[in-house]
Structure 1
Amino acid sequence: MKKSLLPLTLGGLGIGTTEFVMMGMLPDIANDFHTSIPVAGHLISAYALGVVIGAPLLVAFTSSYPPKKILTVLMIIFTVFNACSAFAPNHYVLLFSRLLAGLPHGAFFGVGSVVATRLAEKGKQAQAISIMFAGLTIANLLTVPLGTYIGHHYSWRYTFGMIAVIGLLTLIFIQLWLPRLAPNNSGNIRSELTFFRKKQAWLIIGLTAIGTGGLFAWISYIAPLMTEVSKFAASSVPYVLVLAGLGMVVGNVIGGKLADKVSPVKACLILMITMAISLIVIFFVSQNQILSLVMTFITGGLSMAIGSPIQTLMINTAKGAEMLGAAATQAAFNIGNALGAFLGGLPIAWGLGFTSPEIVGVIMASTGALFALTLSRQKVKIVEEEVALAGE
């Protein structure tokens, strides 16, 4: 592993922690601010909104600068507003701090993905991106459970303080280990935005926003699935989430290697089909505790395996607008998060049970597979046209 990629991994650790730890701390924050759980849940939505707003805008307006400077500014924003979250005097200040803390999320992963590909050895671009996303997987395995424990037994403010320290360490290692790279393009925002006139851009965004939403339909309701269907004790749910996090660590590595071996678009197609099959299996075997745990590990792996192939696919497609394209996929991931959670919750509200979100997930993942298949066919067509022109 290249030392120059480690600052990206550390940044991913901090971002992954602040994104996912909120789910476990909601009751504690709601209790401190004397609000309901649904109202406290707006803190999750505010962060996701910040990601969707910040991902394309911050990259678009900073793309003329060297990547090292962009990543430094993004991590300063991240660190400052997570520190502000630790000292928030009321719900509304925390809500605003969470919105602003979400702004650099997608931009960091977008710029970081391009930096990773530029630092990677030839033919190992997706694996380099997976090293950055490894921070996100480690967060789900270690720092999210740790932050949840600290928030519950001591104070959620200490958890945000811990995240701010991770951000500060990331800033230090960006300065020490990340090489100075030239700006990725001319910085012409208008020319970069023309990429989004292409059908391929929207197919990748659709693949991300709808396809990955299938997994969020599953993981958003994993706690009641495990307690009400698999009949695990509520106290066992954190350990189940650690198992899912372990699957994410393994899946992230597999996804990067698969994308480099068979091409990013084929990897996306394979993983989306596998995801749909996995969710079908969960629907039928969740009453068996052992099989339920096995599928939690496998599906957790799939949830991260798709990340590197999608980012690599967008970077390869968005020539001249790589950072903006990669940031847009991060915004689309968060749209998938919101869509999966919302649509997955509808059949539960209709009384169809806690396995019903998996059916929604199958439909969304299958739709993502159709997007990937369309992209694959388009790329074959483009290659055939280029060969024909070369022959003339």
Structure 2
Amino acid sequence: MKKFAYIGCLGFIAVITTEFGVIGILPQIAEHYKISIDKAGYLLSAFALIIALTGPFMTLLTSGFDRRKVMLTAISIFLITGIVSSLSPPFWLLMIVRILPAFLQPVYIATALSVAISKVDKKYENQMMSIVFSGVAIAMVTTVPFATWLSSLYSWESSFIVQTIVSLIALFVIYFSLPPIPVKEKKSYGSQLTILVQPTFIISTAMNFFMITAWFSTYSYFADYLNKAKGMDMTMISYMLFLFGIIGVFANWVAGKMLGKSIVKTTAFFLSGTILIPVLLYFSEENFVANILVIGIWGFLYSPSFLNASTYMISSVPQSMEFANSLATSFGNLGVTLGTTLGGFMIVNKGVEYNPWISLVFGVLAFLMIILRKIVEKKHKTLQLCKE
């Protein structure tokens, strides 16, 4: 039933608007609070770190609750965050209200995905998941650039007003359109925790972590990078975010189709951007047309990263989808934290124009994990044949 997938997608738009909506306004926030850009980046990295540290535990704790109630509770917290943030509170309070919804973000994603695939045949599961994950790209093409554009016209607080409105709409749609979905059979904690010792799952987790670190070392400072390295103003940056996102919507659709044929090849194809984009950004210099083309390619290869990471990890332990996805979200956000931190360190010590090279290094590490998993799986298959 596609309806459930589209409802999950709408909530995902609210989630992503809240998490990544600050990317386009970090320079303005830094200026308002009289802090450095790397300290403003804590608003993103702290959010991601909380997800990384608490995601799996929160998902396990809520695994027995009605899924509709879980989704409503999560989006309600995102709504409260948007309201308080739009009032330009002291920086310490802004940091606290930014952190609160992070506790339930992976819970929402894991729940929305399980609801989306609950009524469909197994062969359509990846397509339903891609619909839910398209919320990332849709947010990048609508709410995130729109919030950035508004902040360039008025003030950075208007960005949080957009986040509040999106969360409110998602809350109403979930409340009125999604029926109660009680959990029929709750899996034991022990049975789900066994995946933590499986070699292929551990390697897949490392791949996810390195891949997201690679992307976010530059993407977290998208506005600052385009401004200082490419000479674009805030209005043009909002247009670039729009371009980035609109191509990303198409990319998620393509990735959903490709994942149905080969998860490994699809993941490797989109991961190639972590190596390709730094090189293209270097050679495009301040050529306006070239930079638009590179940003388009960047948006296409980056946008399905969370979908690919989750699907790649789940494929190693299909029997524990929700818990595996929560770990994918957690380690992905740990990658966001490390990428943002390393990016901030690079900006302070060298300059934002060097950030893409961090992407290349971690992209290579992610590729090595894909190769390593293939080797481990081949050895395991050989051992199984020998036993038979």
Which TM-score tier does this pair reach, normalised by the shorter chain?
A: 0.7 to 0.9
Tell me the residue number matched to 2:143: 143
Q: Is the contact made by 1:344 and 1:361 (CA closer than 8 Å) also made in structure 2? A: no
- Give the distance between the partners of 1:156 and 1:359, measured in 2 at CA: 30
Tell me the residue number matched to 1:365: 363
- Give the distance between the partners of 1:350 and 1:26, measured in 2 at CA: 18
Q: Which moved more, 1:377-386 or 1:250-259?
A: 377-386
Would the alpha carbon gap of residues 328 and 173 (structure 1) be closer, same or farther in structure 2, given more than 3 Å must change? same
Q: Deviations over 1:288-340 (max 9, x none)?
A: 33222211111111112232222123233334432121011112222222222
Tell me how far 1:364 sits from its aligned partner: 0.7
In the alignment, structure 1 residue 8 sits paired with structure 2 residue 4: no
Q: Which moved more, 1:182-191 or 1:164-173?
A: 182-191
Q: Which amino acid aligns with 2:77?
A: I
Tell me how far 1:14 sits from its aligned partner: 0.6
- Give the distance between the partners of 1:3 and 1:138, measured in 2 at CA: 17
Q: Note the 1:203-218 alignment, pairs <5 A.
A: 203-218=203-218
Q: Which amino acid aligns with 1:372?
A: I
- Give the distance between the partners of 2:141 and 2:245, measured in 1 at CA: 4
TM-score using structure 2 length = 0.87
Q: Is the contact made by 1:46 and 1:96 (CA closer than 8 Å) also made in structure 2? A: no
Tell me the residue number matched to 2:122: 122
Q: Is the contact made by 1:9 and 1:134 (CA closer than 8 Å) also made in structure 2? A: yes
Tell me how far 1:56 sits from its aligned partner: 1.5
Tell me how far 1:235 sits from its aligned partner: 4.4
Tell me how far 1:176 sits from its aligned partner: 3.5
Tell me the residue number matched to 1:374: 372
Tell me how far 1:27 sits from its aligned partner: 5.0
Q: Which moved more, 1:238-247 or 1:14-23?
A: 238-247
Q: Which moved more, 1:32-41 or 1:81-90?
A: 32-41
- Give the distance between the partners of 2:256 and 2:316, measured in 1 at CA: 17
Tell me the residue number matched to 1:322: 321
Tell me the residue number matched to 1:309: 308
Q: Deviations over 1:12-64 (max 9, x none)?
A: 11111111222333455456656665544433333223322342122010112
May I ask how many residue pairs the two structures share in their alignment?
388
Tell me how far 1:97 sits from its aligned partner: 0.9
- Give the distance between the partners of 1:32 and 1:110, measured in 2 at CA: 36
- Give the distance between the partners of 2:160 and 2:369, measured in 1 at CA: 38
Q: Is the contact made by 1:82 and 1:163 (CA closer than 8 Å) also made in structure 2? A: yes
Would the alpha carbon gap of residues 344 and 60 (structure 1) be closer, same or farther in structure 2, given more than 3 Å must change? same
Tell me the residue number matched to 2:194: 194
Would the alpha carbon gap of residues 38 and 288 (structure 1) be closer, same or farther in structure 2, given more than 3 Å must change? closer
- Give the distance between the partners of 1:232 and 1:157, measured in 2 at CA: 22
Q: Which moved more, 1:297-306 or 1:31-40?
A: 31-40
Q: Note the 1:264-303 alignment, pairs <5 A.
A: 264-303=263-302
Q: Is the contact made by 1:79 and 1:164 (CA closer than 8 Å) also made in structure 2? A: yes
Would the alpha carbon gap of residues 310 and 124 (structure 1) be closer, same or farther in structure 2, given more than 3 Å must change? farther
Would the alpha carbon gap of residues 206 and 163 (structure 1) be closer, same or farther in structure 2, given more than 3 Å must change? same
- Give the distance between the partners of 2:305 and 2:127, measured in 1 at CA: 12
Tell me the residue number matched to 1:259: 259
Would the alpha carbon gap of residues 64 and 19 (structure 1) be closer, same or farther in structure 2, given more than 3 Å must change? same
- Larger RCO: 1 or 2 (CA < 8 Å, sep 6+): 2
Q: Note the 1:1-392 alignment, pairs <5 A.
A: 2-29=2-29, 37-87=37-87, 89-154=89-154, 156-181=156-181, 183=183, 186-223=186-223, 225-233=225-233, 235-262=235-262, 264-346=263-345, 348-351=347-350, 354-383=352-381, 392=388
Tell me how far 1:131 sits from its aligned partner: 0.9
TM-score using structure 1 length = 0.86
Query: Secondary structure at 1:135's aligned position in 2?
Result: helix
Q: Any stretches of 5+ residues in structure 1 without a counterpart?
A: none
